[in-house]
Amino acid sequence: MLGTIINTVTILAGGTFGALVRSGIGEKYKKALFDGLGLCCIVLGVNASLPNMAKSEYPVLFILSLAIGGLIGTKLDLAGRVEGDPQRGSGEGASGLVTGCLLYCIGTFSIVGPVLSALSPTQGWAWGESANTFLYTNATLDFVTSAVLAASYGWIMLLAAPVLFCWQGMFYAIGYFCGGGMPEPMRVELSIVGGVLILSSGLSILGIKDCKTVNLLPSLLVPVVFYLIK
């Protein structure tokens, strides 16, 4: 769990730094940050989805996942519950938090990294240890990302740290207790769906289209349930 702990701490450190400097950033510079974030989300979302689509065993599964997950999320009104009352300004921060959680949690480093760490539990703090290389790399990227996100959205972004810890902890437990970890096809499908959700967040940040990304979050459960049944 060393890699996950370090990854969590870097998000807290980067988020704290970003939130502290936020008050000194002018509105036009915050707008520039939002535009940059939106573009980055679009690029990262496409990069997560497209390469994995060629590896998918069931190319239509991500379509079914988004359809079923979207219906469930809309029925439960997840977006309305998370965003709260727009008059209190809680919606923007909540959307930023969801975007941050997606950026931190979706991807090979954050999914495969904990599994490799559990399967090869080399002890120690050396940055180059093979067991935690993915997680150390992810921690470096997340430090920068968390600083930028917190500079845009504020202190609420620190709440993404425990989400990441629980997410990676779940995959660490899968690797530790199940030996082989999660099936590669499941990781592929999660990456495709997660990439689409990150792309959706990017469109919302840029003001192009509010896809209610929060309502689509249950889509991530569909590939997991599918492969558990299969």
pLDDT at 181: 61
Q: Is the dihedral of CA 113, 114, 119, 123 positive or negative?
A: positive
89 pLDDT above the threshold of 60 = no
CA neighbor of 190 nearest in space, from 219, 168, 160: 219
Once rounded to an integer, what is the mean pLDDT over residues 117-137? 65
Instruction: Report the percent of the chain where pLDDT is more than 70.
Output: 89
Give the pLDDT band (50/70/90) at residue 78: confident
DSSP string of 120-150, one letter each residue: S---S--TT-GGGHHHHHHHHHHHHHHHHHH
Higher pLDDT pick, 25 / 104: 104
CA neighbor of 100 nearest in space, from 25, 173, 201: 201
15 pLDDT above the threshold of 90 = yes
**What type of residue is 13?**
A
Query: Domains in the chain: how many in total?
Result: 1
Higher pLDDT pick, 95 / 65: 65
Mean pLDDT rounded to a whole number for the chain: 85
Q: pTM of the predicted model, to two decimals?
A: 0.77
Higher pLDDT pick, 89 / 27: 27
Higher pLDDT pick, 111 / 180: 111
DSSP 127: T
Once rounded to an integer, what is the mean pLDDT over residues 130-134? 73
Which domain does 51 fall in, by range? 2-229
163 pLDDT above the threshold of 90 = yes
88 pLDDT above the threshold of 50 = no
Instruction: Report the percent of the chain where pLDDT is more than 90.
Output: 38
* Number of Cβ within a 10 Å radius of residue 173: 14
Q: Tell how far CA 37 is from the center of its chain.
A: 14
Q: Within 54-124, where are the H helices?
A: 61-76, 78-83, 90-105, 108-119
